[in-house]
Structure 1
């Protein structure tokens, strides 16, 4: 969130007054939050920043929550650091700021001509404490008390997290956070019914979480299908869904290469090995899915084909570097092919490496307006020619198959 190259912002009396009010509110313990919006900076991911006081052990800090398109990030600062950042950001990156205290709201806006406008409004004294402990401050997209978490062995009978499942618990929350933003941005939350397919659902931790989020949190009528090759896991998950009376959640035996699907709104495939990810993406495109979420695993297809420039040979003599190059190229081409077939696509770290080594996410959201894809197709051709790629599974599938819907 910190600006790459801080620049001086012209001092304005109203801006100085606003920073002083923020400083005084924090010092007096009456600060509720500060909201920076109307972002005009260079970070394509960032949308707005919320700032709240947070108690960490014996130190009172300011928690900066950066709300991004895909997932949020948090960083804590001291009061002087926070004031310096606000001085740099306001009028350069953010053009609207709201300061909320227990007794007043202060709105600062900056016009197109650079004029700073400051408005104050008194409000009723809030009874809610302005400062929350850090362990109460963290927002979770999944409630720990949900029955399916106990049924799947993530929480105990008292609703407490089982320590050995803490990594899975964090993964579930991060996945639902990413899905939540994608649903909001694509407008799927306004639909009366949704169909979700989760390929390679395994023990179905995320499949159950998706169904619960769509039906209990969003109140949607959802049909969620988990597709798993191993029949014992299919039976186990179906029995669990029936025991919890989760109508609309079902599991079927099969794999992504042979599963016949129509009318999927959200296609999920996590840790699909090698070209199975390509088959999953192809399935999502051909059924017209508004959201495609893939976490690739293994990248075997392109590595034997790569003809890297001689200048790179000292680097690629190391197997780990050659593997990373193949991974980057494979997923980069997947993202470009999605772009060429009507999707806005992002590739990012889904969850920290400390929780799982399979941490990359390809997130694609169906574009509402068509655009000329000639430049993207040219980029794909140039990359293939540069590296000597003769075949890419997803490109082959998209070129040969007829639409299924």
Structure 2
């Protein structure tokens, strides 16, 4: 709402359109720009309702993201700043008769009468209405995904309030998880062999309601990639819901299949995702990624059941592991450490870290593996005997007989040797 209304002098009214463009350019230059909404569309196509413009960072460059909202679909296009400003200026008064510019301290409205006469209102925002100040780093993170995408409403993440899509309050933690996932993926992609690839094939196992699957597709397309993203889910109702939403919004390259990680075989797999895959399903997912030669493997393990019953507590650790909670935590650590070492032995740069804060989810660990190449891959091959020896020593220390991923890899080696 306006706390103070600044009326332009009469002489400036004739130049209201030009002043609006100058104010927009200034907001972008000084970093105060929040968003621009163009409405009251006239002319063709008659399905177009409004245009929302936000600033995004793509490959380290500032761009304007245009979200064209039609009655049945939304279309997103990104433009360099100067090109985007030129396009906005051309649209004012010709294709749209109302423009609403929000900055960190002002609300600016440009309206055209039926006769085409422009009028400009510039208001200072009240303190309680001003967007919270954020650092450049925080702003970049927030811009990874646009909340205005219509499929978020289909998935129950957003709803419409006064004509704008807003986050459902109960979904705020989920939204943080989604954006953190994309932040991790962004860093992994930059350091992987896929960085220069124009096309990326992703399979998300256990995709559920498709939050991360839709997010991955939307983000990759925003990076200028030809994205082929597939969600694999056991529940037929979830598969149907996600496919209907993808089709409704014309999301080419996004599809959902009913299937299981133990039997599903993708034609091509560049990025393998398996979040919260229960127990050894995580091992089967990693193994599938290894067999397919995936450049990136992302797992959030769940239900570490295989190792715990096998563990023989070393005498030195018995006082600590006599408590069930400590034994469970130790079993998780041993399981995921073995998985990380096995991935390293297969030529991957591997990290195990906290995915999101514990306050958001108790399943907050991620195993991220990025395929090495060139000299780094050759060096990794030389370290393989050392890594396998470390794995064997850990198993001996805890009295472990079997670890699923190791068995799957060994079976592959045996089959290759007998072929």
Q: TM-score, normalised by structure 2?
A: 0.63
Unaligned runs of 5+ in 2: 1-28, 32-103, 106-130
Question: Partners in 1 of 2:386 and 2:272 — Cα distance?
Answer: 27
**Contact persistence 1:189–1:220 (CA under 8 A):** no
Please report how far the alpha carbon of residue 236 of structure 1 lies from its aligned counterpart in structure 2 after TM superposition.
1.0
Deviation above 3 Å: which 4+ runs of structure 1?
A: none
What is the CA–CA distance in structure 2 between the aligned matches of 1:209 and 1:265, rounded to whole Å?
17
Q: Deviations over 1:147-197 (max 9, x none)?
A: 222222212121211101001000000000000110111142321211100
What secondary structure, in the 3-state scheme, does the structure 2 residue paired with 1:190 have?
coil
Say whether residues 1:145 and 2:145 are aligned partners: no
- Aligned residue for 1:377, secondary structure, equals helix
Structure 2: distance between partners of 1:366 and 1:337:
13
State how far apart, in whole Å, the 2-side matches of 1:136 and 1:333 are.
38
Q: How many residues align?
A: 278
Matched, 1:364 2:369: yes
Provide the rounded CA distance (Å) in 1 between the counterparts of 2:299 and 2:356: 13
3-state SS of 1:355 partner: coil
1:261-283 Cα offsets, whole Å, 9 max, x none, are: 24200000000000000000000
Question: Is the Cα contact below 8 Å between 1:228 and 1:254 reproduced in 2?
Answer: yes
Q: Which residue of 1 aligns with 2:408?
A: 397
**What residue number does 1:188 align with?**
194
**Which residue of structure 2 lines up, in the alignment, with residue 223 of structure 1?**
228
Distance 1:207 1:314 in 2: 44
Structure 2 partner of 1:347:
352
**Unaligned residue ranges in structure 1 (runs of 5+):** 1-31, 33-51, 53-127
Give, in whole Å, the separation in 1 of the partners of 2:330 and 2:177.
Answer: 26
Q: Which of the numbers 164, 167, 177 marks the counterpart of 2:173?
A: 167
Q: Deviations over 1:334-392 (max 9, x none)?
A: 00000000101000000001111110000000011222111111100110111111100
Map 1:88-107 to 2 at 5 A: none
2:313 to 308, 311, 315: 308
Work out the CA distance in 2 between the residues paired with 1:147 and 1:206: 15
Note the alpha carbon deviations across 1:277-318, whole angstroms, 9 max, x for none. 000000000000000000000100010111121221121111
CA RMSD in angstroms comes to 2.3
Aligned to 2:271: 266
Indicate whether 1:388 and 2:399 are aligned: yes
For residues 95-130 of structure 1, what are the alpha-carbon distances to aligned partners after superposition, in whole Å with 9 as ceiling and x for unaligned? Answer: xxxxxxxxxxxxxxxxxxxxxxxxxxxxxxxxx99x
Q: Tell whether 2:172 aligns with 1:204.
A: no
**TM-score normalised to structure 1 length:** 0.66
Matching of residue 134 in structure 1 with residue 133 in structure 2: yes
Structural mapping, 1:38-53, within 5 Å: none
Answer whether contact 2:193 2:295 (CA < 8 A) is retained.
no
How many Å separate the matches in 2 of 1:170 and 1:142? Answer: 11
Kept in 1: contact 2:276–2:300 (CA 8 A)? yes
